[in-house]
Amino acid sequence: MTTGSKRRVLIQVAGRVQGVFFRASTRDKAESLGLTGWVRNLPNGDVELLAEGEAGAIARLLAWCHAGPKLARVDTCHITYQTPTGEFDRFTVLRDV
């Protein structure tokens, strides 16, 4: 794997995304795609996640985030690309901020 094929993205998802298993579903999706990073609830009702991995897997996670799990309603996804660091070894659910 070359460094150029790695991507890192910070995503803030707004809508009905808390209390609908968004974090657990995000972890499951990220793990199935071989991504590392974390997901957490924010005090304003949004969900924030940081994911790192292959560019194609990041693209699939982004597409999934626009819909989320069955009970979610995603209104917006704010996406910020960052430089990959390789600091994570798995994808975890963090405690709420």
pLDDT at residue 78 in the model: 98
Question: Active-site positions?
Answer: 23, 41
Residues of the chain with pLDDT under 70: 1-4
Q: 1, exposed or middle or buried, with CB in 10 Å at 0-12, 13-18, 19+?
A: exposed
Q: Which two tokens stand for residue 65?
A: 């985030």
Q: Is pTM, for the whole model, over 0.75?
A: yes
Instruction: Give per-residue pLDDT as tens, 51-66.
Output: 999 999 999 999 999 9
pLDDT at residue 96 in the model: 80
* Unique residue bearing structure tokens 């998802």: 13
Assigned architecture for domain 3-83: 2-Layer Sandwich (3.30)
Taken in order 48, 58, 20, 74, is the CA torsion positive or negative? positive
pLDDT at residue 97 in the model: 74
pLDDT at residue 4 in the model: 61
